[in-house]
Every structure is written in structure tokens, then in C-alpha cells.
Structure 1
């Protein structure tokens, strides 16, 4: 029977199906690695979650470790992509810093799987990230933007001079990461619900006070 114009060609459907399959695999792998770490993750469960044949995972990603790296790279792409939407270069320097602090805090709360992946990769001493040809270049625009914000703030007489944008970003991320990564033990030790709505607002306010207290000139 002749092919009608509305009938898709196999060559046209394959790339789209391949993209969808890889997305499903990466989505499933993210949940598996976040739940079980690299050592505890099982390719059988990833295949079942993604509703694909396990052989297809190996066809696209070759090994569990390569799949883990692909998940890590995708996770970093996600957070860096959302950071670009903050338009830090288009607002005044103090507002830019407030936006970055609030975004980092809320992103970590909304994406606990990201923190789980970071914890796993740190256990492996960044062995997988060192193989990546993409991750370092993803971070360059963020560092450049933050450096530009700091320079604008200094020229306006708002910020102190000589602030390292990498150190500042690590401090902002660390203020959120340590609190959220240890909230269960800290809540128990201090007998306080550190993840209640009021406590989270207090923490965000405290982080703003700490960072801007350091940056803003008297």
C-alpha cells in the first residue's frame, strides 16, 4: 500500500523515539541514584522505571557509571539553566545577591535529589565529574555574572573590594546545603523543627543578613 503523506517515515520517528527513551532513562536513573546512591542503584530497577529494555540503557550509556555521570551533568544543566533566568545583570547588585541566595535555598528545598547526587559524588571524590567535558564550562557564565555583580556593587560604593565570586558562591551554597543536608540531625540535637515554614523563613533571612553583612560597606 502506498505511504500516505501523513504516515511518518521510520527515519523520522527514530530520532524522536531515541530522545524520548533517553529522557525516560535519565529521569528514572535520577530517582534511582537519589534513592540508593551509585553503589545501591540497580540497572534492572532503572529499566523498569523507564519502561525500557535494560540492553537499551547500555546501548545509550554503556555502563552504570557513565549513566551516573550523564545524570549529574543533566542535574547541573538544570540548576545552571534556572540560574540564568534570574537576570542578575539586570537588577541592582544588592537585589541580585538576594535573588541568588533565595534561588539557591529554594532550589535545594525543591530538588532534594540534587543534594543526594552531590553527596554521592563527593563520596566518590568527584571521580565521575572529573571525566566530564561539560560541567566546568557550565559554571563559567555563573562566575562571570557574579563577578560582574560584585564589580557593579563596588563601583557604586555598595560592596567591599576584592571579593572572590567563586568563594562567595560556595559560601551561599554552603549556607543552604549544610542546613538542608543535616536538618534531621540538627533538628534532633537542638530540639527544633528546622524545616517548618517559620524556620525556613528565618533561615533565609539569616543567610541574607550574613552574606550582605559581609558584602555591604558600612
Structure 2
């Protein structure tokens, strides 16, 4: 039976007045809770009933805003990527030297991924789905075009002033940065268990961040 996506009437729950007063806040609240549920249980395991119970919204309101569970899942992915790109935009790396700009970008990526483990788990889940849902999102594609253009601008400035070596692909630089910072979250628990060292403690994280910055800079800087 198809979900009822009509807007709930005031008689359909005590949460209605809050929704009417702040619909955007309600949607943000739904996305925040849903992000945790999807990260923990995946697309198939997450339940709209459970999400509704933890938000200011009813189940019908979730369907009203997002259409269905897959629509909500895609919205959480878009929100997660938008957070990363918004943080990058605040760095103002164009006002820094190419080396300092790249260093700051790597540091930011490492720190953001460490602080947003749900984002990493959601990306892992989306990879299980072979990127099927991200492929439907023009928003995410546009966001990532901007991310690569920023790295290209930084790299081109470094090549022009003789700091960076020629012949590198900005998209592949982005890949390497993402890979190093992503692995720090996705495989930290297993690495810690396998080798008997807590890679999550503050000292280890600081070392790993510095190592990641150094590896990327050594890859890009002209020698």
C-alpha cells in the first residue's frame, strides 16, 4: 500500500504546531536523525517508524517531505556532502599560498571525516549500492564539480609558480586525499584490534593527520 503523503492535519499529533512554526527546522531534524539511522542500519535496515519516534515529526510528515524512505536516504546523502563542501568553502584557500592551501585542505578533510563518522559509514553503504542513489542527485554532482575546480585552481597556481610538479590530475589528487582521510575512519577499529594499538586516541590522530599532510605534499611538490 502506498504511503499517504498528504500534509497531516492539526489533529494528527501533538508535534504539529512545532512543524507548522518551523518546517525547515523540522526537515533538518529529520535528516539529522535519519543520517544516524542510515549510518547504523543501512538503507534496508533503517525504519521510518524509528526515525519518526526520534524526531519532532510524524511518519506521515516524513513521507510528505521526502516521498519515501529512498527519498529520505538520498536527502541525507545530499546533506552530508553539502556539509563537507560548505566547510571547504569557508577555508578561503585561494587566499593562501599553494602549499599552505593544500595543507589546510588536507587538514580540514582529515578533521571533518574524523568528526563525522556517520558520513563515512553512509558513503560505505552507498558504495554497497554501487553509487545508485548518488547517481540520481544533480545536487551532489554540482557540489563535487566545485570541489574539484577548487583543487584545480590551487594546483594550477602551484604549477605556475614552480611549487608543484606538472602532469598531475586534480581529480586524482582529490582521490588520494579522500582515500587517506576516509581510511582513518572506515578502518580504524579493525586496524586497532588487529595490531593492538589505539589509532583513535588524540596523539595517534594528530600523528596520522600530520603524516597524511606530508604524504600529499610530497606527492604534489616539485623536487
Normalising by structure 2, we get a TM-score of 0.88
Q: Distance in 1 between matches of 2:28 and 2:216?
A: 38
- Give the number of aligned pairs: 206
Counterpart in 2 of 1:178? 183
**Structure 2 unpaired stretches of 5+:** 1-17
Structure number with larger C-alpha Rg: 1
Q: Does 1:149 align with 2:154?
A: yes
Q: Distance in 2 between matches of 1:161 and 1:34?
A: 39
Cα distance, 1:23 vs structure 2: 1.7
Q: Does 1:212 align with 2:211?
A: no
Cα distance, 1:14 vs structure 2: 7.8
**Structure 1 unpaired stretches of 5+:** 1-12
Counterpart in 2 of 1:195? 200
Instruction: Pick the aligned partner of 1:140 from 128, 145, 170.
Output: 145
Instruction: Pick the aligned partner of 1:123 from 121, 124, 128.
Output: 128
Q: Does 1:108 align with 2:113?
A: yes
Pairwise CA RMSD: 1.5
Cα distance, 1:20 vs structure 2: 2.4
Which contiguous aligned blocks of 4+ residues in structure 1 show a shift greater than 4 angstroms?
13-16
Counterpart in 2 of 1:41? 46
SS across alignment from 2:119: helix
SS across alignment from 1:82: helix
Q: Distance in 2 between matches of 1:117 and 1:44?
A: 20
Q: Distance in 2 between matches of 1:84 and 1:162?
A: 26
Instruction: Pick the aligned partner of 1:50 from 34, 51, 55.
Output: 55
Cα distance, 1:21 vs structure 2: 2.1
Counterpart in 1 of 2:172? 167
Q: Distance in 2 between matches of 1:129 and 1:113?
A: 16
SS across alignment from 1:126: coil
List per-residue Cα deviations over 1:72-113 (Å, max 9, x = no partner): 001111110110001111100000111011000000111111
SS across alignment from 2:138: coil
Counterpart in 2 of 1:22? 27
Cα distance, 1:118 vs structure 2: 0.4
